[in-house]
Copies of this chain bind each other. A is one copy, B any other.
Amino acid sequence: MSNTNLKKLAEELGLSISSVSKALRDSYEISAETKKRVLAMAEKMNYQPNPFASSLRRKKSVTIAVVIPEIANNFFALALDGIQMVAQQKGYHLLTYLTHEDYKNEEATIRHLQGGRVDGVLISLCRDTESIHHLVSLHETGIPMVFFDRVPEQMDCPTVTTDDYESGFKATEHLINAGCKKIACLSLSNYLSITHKRMKGYEDALKKHAIKLDPKLVIQCNNDNENNLNLIKNMLSAKKDRPDGIFATVEKLAISTYYVCNDIKLKIPQQIKIISFSNLRTASLLSPSLSTITQPAFEIGKESASLLFRMIEKKTFGNRIDKIVLKSSLIERNSSK
């Protein structure tokens, strides 16, 4: 902890504590002369205000929290980058919490945040968040909250998302245009709206092109990576009805697919084409065979944080609930070759 406080500063200057405090906050009540003296002395004594005393008194933490499933993930790393940028610009501190896709962690973190440690919360749900009671409970404290990317479906709240349905549609159509007839889809979770929407896009694209959806080609993945690899491997090892295209709803599953293809010597893109939601920024170079749907992750972070600050600063109308949707982009590579 810092050791020079207002009291010591005041003593040294022969002023009252409150005058010093006001001088430091550049109050109009203090003479320019005094302000200068105070500032000089504060500098000299290396004064740093105690943030807890200030927060306690002002009921303001100058801090926001971000709750995300993981950080070793290109999408979330970029989003966090954008969030941090806005926070820093606003002079706010950023508390980071990782749920590691574990609902229990998410619940505990959210509950903890009810203590008033932060002025606002940014959240992206974990894959198996089914119940939303903890979110409702936090919401009821009146604290500004913004959800991004992985948002709750059963709750009316401010969100920043991508055009998931359209992207799923485009991705699938991309494979169809590349000549694929049997297109599989890898789903991340049963609960996430992003998955639902992306898969709806997939279904509708198949429908549009009169391709019958084969339920065997829709793989429901879960938190157990081994299991997912096996599911994918089984599907790709089938003698007949092996898919010739795969739409992965998240990057992680595309990478798993890569491993499997590598493992069973399935050639990409000759024997199977893959398209995925992905923010692997270097993918274009490293993987000429992987077309991707890339979300504007950094912008999503910035937009989410900006929206949150508008709410914190009450610059948004009382009962208005913003739903911001950004567009993702299809980055085609020679997937059709």
| A residues neighboring B (CB under 8 Å) | 1-3, 46, 48-53, 55-56, 59, 61, 63, 70-74, 77-78, 80-81, 84-85, 88, 93-98, 105, 111-112, 114-117, 137, 141, 255, 258-259, 262, 280-283, 285-287, 290, 298
- When distances are taken between beta carbons in the complex, the residues of chain B under 8 Å from A1 are 59, 116, 141
Contacts of A281 in B (CB 8 A): 72
- Interface SS majority for chain A: mixed
In the complex, the answer to whether B51 meets A285 with C-beta atoms within 8 Å is no
Q: A52-B52, A52-B55 are in contact. Are A72 and B78 (CB under 8 A)?
A: yes
Give Cα A94 to B97, complex, Å.
7
Contact of A262 among B95, B112, B285 (CB under 8 A): B285
Cα(A283)–Cα(B262), bound, Å: 13
Contact of A51 among B53, B111, B117 (CB under 8 A): B117
Contacting pair B116 A98 (CB below 8 A): no
* Interface residue from B80, B114, B290 paired with A46 (Cβ < 8 Å): B114
Cα-based distance from A73 to B76 in the complex (angstroms): 11
CA distance A283 to B255 in the complex (A): 10
- Copy tally for this chain in the complex stands at 2
Which of chain B's residues have a CB closer than 8 A to the CB of A49?
A: 115
A85 to B97, CA, bound (A): 10
What is the minimal beta-carbon distance from A259 to any residue of chain B, in angstroms? Answer: 6
Whole-angstrom distance between the Cβ of A90 and the nearest chain B Cβ: 14
Q: Looking at the complex, which one of B46, B116, B262, B286 makes contact with A287 (CB distance below 8 Å)?
A: B286
Q: In whole angstroms, how far apart are the Cα atoms of A112 and B298 in the complex?
A: 26
Determine the chain B residues whose CB is within 8 A of the CB of A59 once the complex forms: 1
Can you spell out 24 A-B residue pairs with CB atoms less than 8 angstroms apart?
A: A46-B137, A48-B112, A48-B116, A50-B56, A51-B115, A51-B117, A52-B116, A53-B56, A63-B95, A73-B77, A84-B96, A84-B97, A88-B98, A93-B117, A94-B96, A95-B96, A96-B96, A258-B285, A258-B286, A280-B282, A280-B286, A282-B286, A286-B290, A287-B287
Q: Pick the contact of A80: B51, B71, B285 (CB < 8 A).
A: B71
Is the pair A255, B285 in contact by a Cβ cutoff of 8 Å?
Answer: yes
Q: Is the CB of A71 within 8 A of B52?
A: no
Q: Could you tell me the distance between the alpha carbons of A78 and B74 in the complex, rounded to whole angstroms?
A: 11
| Residue from A56, A97, A112 with most neighbouring chain B CB atoms (10 Å) | A56
